């Protein structure tokens, strides 16, 4: 099995069991599709041919659509699918179902769906299409489900300002053989339940951005978390191993200092050089 699948499983396991729902009596065909999906994911994990991997992901997407288009599927947890991450928003208005495809060259493509509760009786299903490799200025662009900047999300933060609802997503991207990424993304919905990704709400060192992307060495680990008590996003400050390597992200890693962001009046304001003893970074 591809080693990077194991890395993803650890993240997805935490996502999947972070939200507790009482078991319900779902239709039998939900479980039948879940069993079929599990077989497909096992085949995907064992497959070495990139074309066959893509074909399997296409089959997996079709199966997910079949079950997720049912309005009664929102609380079905897909508990046996160890390669799938499922994360619910804090207000339970939507959930994101997601997985990744590792290519032989070390790059990754992400797949997913959003199930959004438009009303008590109506659930909208949105398929996410990863177009990360075509997005030239991801820090500045507002994106849709059709040109999604793919990632595996593990935390959703819900904020409101002037009757507008903002969902801030913390995510990971295994990226390639040399670097990994962590992402802070903004998700909003219009009245029809259509999602938009990105919003100019980040004041990152006084430079507004639509999303924050951290890129660093594949050999390093970066903290990107949310302190619920302080209501702050906390993250490692990244620096190159030598000043001459500025801009070469395969040589970036944590420098033992921490920065943060706090949502204030509709803006995620940047706070550098936090005293980490006052924060929870678990």
CA distance 198 to 10: 27
The whole domain housing 250 covers 3-278
The Cβ of residue 57 has, within 10 Å, a number of other Cβ atoms equal to 19
Min mean pLDDT across 131-135, 151-155, 229-233, 274-278 is at 274-278
Q: Is the pLDDT of residue 6 over 70?
A: no
Question: Quick one: which H or E segment has residue 217?
Answer: strand 212-217
Residue 122: strand pairing partners: none
Q: How far apart are CA 59 and CA 43, in angstroms?
A: 11
Residue 35: how many CB atoms within 10 A of its CB? 11
pLDDT digits (tens, 9 = 90+) for 207-216: 889 999 999 9
Indicate the DSSP class of residue 89. -
Banded model confidence at residue 229, pLDDT cuts 50, 70, 90: very high
Question: In which region does residue 247 sit, left (phi positive, over 0), alpha (psi from -120 to 50) or beta (all else)?
Answer: left
Over its C-alpha atoms, the chain yields an Rg (Å, rounded) of 19
pLDDT over 70 for what percent of the chain?
A: 90
Using the 8-state DSSP alphabet, how is residue 175 labeled?
-
- Does the global pTM surpass 0.85? yes
pLDDT band at residue 179, thresholds of 50, 70 and 90?
very high
Tell me how far apart the alpha carbons of residues 204 and 249 are, in angstroms, rounded to a whole number. Answer: 18
How does pLDDT run across 118-140, given as a tens digit for each residue? 877 789 999 999 999 999 999 99
**Residue for token digits 């288009």?**
69
8 A C-beta contact, residue 67 and residue 30: yes
- Determine the Cα–Cα distance for residues 54 and 253; give it in Å rounded to an integer: 32
> If pLDDT is split at 50, 70 and 90, which confidence band does 25 have?
low
> Cα torsion at 74, 80, 85, 88 (round to 10°)?
30
Q: Is 145 exposed, middle or buried (0-12, 13-18, 19+ CB in 10 A)?
A: middle
Q: Where is average pLDDT lowest: 19-23, 202-206, 223-227?
A: 19-23
Structure tokens at 153: 């999300």
Tokens describing residue 94? 């939507």
What's the CA gap between 256 and 260, in Å, rounded? 14
Q: How confident is the model at residue 204 (pLDDT cuts 50, 70, 90)?
A: confident
**Terminal Cα-to-Cα distance of the chain (whole angstroms):** 29
Asked whether the CA dihedral 27, 32, 113, 165 is positive or negative, the reply is positive
Q: How many domains does the chain have?
A: 1
SS3 25: coil
């Amino acid at each position: 099995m591809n080693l990077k699948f194991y890395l993803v499983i650890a993240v997805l396991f935490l996502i999947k069991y972070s939200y507790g729902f009482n078991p319900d009596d779902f239709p039998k065909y939900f479980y039948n599709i879940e069993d079929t999906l599990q077989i497909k994911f096992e085949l995907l994990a064992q497959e070495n041919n990139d074309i066959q991997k893509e074909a399997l992901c296409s089959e997996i997407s079709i199966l997910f659509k079949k079950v997720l288009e049912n309005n009664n599927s929102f609380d079905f947890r897909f508990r046996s699918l160890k390669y799938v991450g499922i994360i619910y928003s804090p207000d339970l208005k939507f959930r994101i179902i997601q997985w990744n495809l590792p290519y032989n060259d070390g790059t990754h493509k992400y797949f997913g769906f959003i199930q959004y509760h438009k009303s008590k009786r109506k659930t909208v299903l949105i398929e996410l299409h990863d177009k990360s490799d075509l997005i030239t200025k991801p820090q500045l662009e507002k994106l849709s489900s059709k040109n999604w900047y793919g990632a595996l999300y593990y935390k959703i933060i819900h904020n409101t300002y002037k009757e507008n609802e903002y969902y801030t997503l913390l995510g990971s991207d295994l990226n390639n053989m040399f670097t990994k990424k962590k992402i802070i993304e903004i998700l909003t919905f219009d009245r029809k339940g259509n999602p938009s990704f990105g919003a100019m709400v980040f004041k990152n060192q006084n430079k507004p951005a639509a999303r924050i992307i951290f890129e660093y060495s594949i050999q390093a680990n970066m903290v990107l978390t949310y302190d619920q008590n302080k209501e702050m996003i906390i993250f490692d400050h990244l620096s190159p191993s030598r000043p001459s390597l500025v801009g070469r992200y395969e040589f970036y890693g944590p420098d033992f200092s921490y920065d943060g962001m706090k949502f204030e009046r509709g803006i995620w304001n940047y706070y550098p050089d936090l005293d980490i003893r006052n924060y929870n970074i678990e």
